Amino acid sequence: MIKRSIHHVCIQTEKYEESLRFYTEILGFEIISETAGFHGRAYNTWIKLEDFMIELQTPKKGDKLNPWSNKNAGIVHMCFMVEDVKEEFNRIKNLGYNDFKVKNGEELYKVEGSYLCKVKAPEGTEIEFRDIEI
């Protein structure tokens, strides 16, 4: 099997409206498709940023989701490359979003010679921003 690229990540949320606003208004994703009443879920929505998509969905009716934790197995965070981390950090702050991860008392911090920051989406997904390739 030839692997070409990642198609999408699926994120479940009990804070659907907040999460949808975060991904579209703060991160710039575009809504591709929003389906109400999808297989027992209030919503199943596809959003896209360039070639990357997120399937954002509510839990099935009656299900209670476990809170996000960086101690869970599997994906811990996702990262977006930006032109300038400091500029992206300030852009997000200027939009009024302030749920950044704090490390050593700083929201924007140095790791291996370059800056990065991490923001927590309303449903708990941790999103990293960096501007230097590894």
CATH of 77-130 among 3.10.180.10, 3.50.50.60, 3.30.930.10, 3.40.50.300: 3.10.180.10
What average pLDDT does the chain have? 93
pLDDT at 68: 82
The edge-to-edge listing of strands for the beta sheet with 8-12 is 8-12, 52-57, 41-49, 30-38
On the question of pLDDT at 4 being above 80, the answer is: no
Please check whether residue 52 is in contact with residue 46, taking contact to mean a CB–CB distance below 8 angstroms.
no
The model's pLDDT over 102-128, given as tens digits with 9 standing for 90+, comes to 999 999 999 888 999 999 999 999 999
Q: Quote the pTM value.
A: 0.89
pLDDT band at 90 (very low <50, low <70, confident <90, very high): very high
CATH 3.80.10.10 for the 8-57 domain, yes or no: no
Q: What are the residue ranges spanned by the domains of the chain?
A: 8-57, 77-130
Domains 8-57 and 77-130 share a fold: yes
On the question of pLDDT at 37 being above 80, the answer is: yes
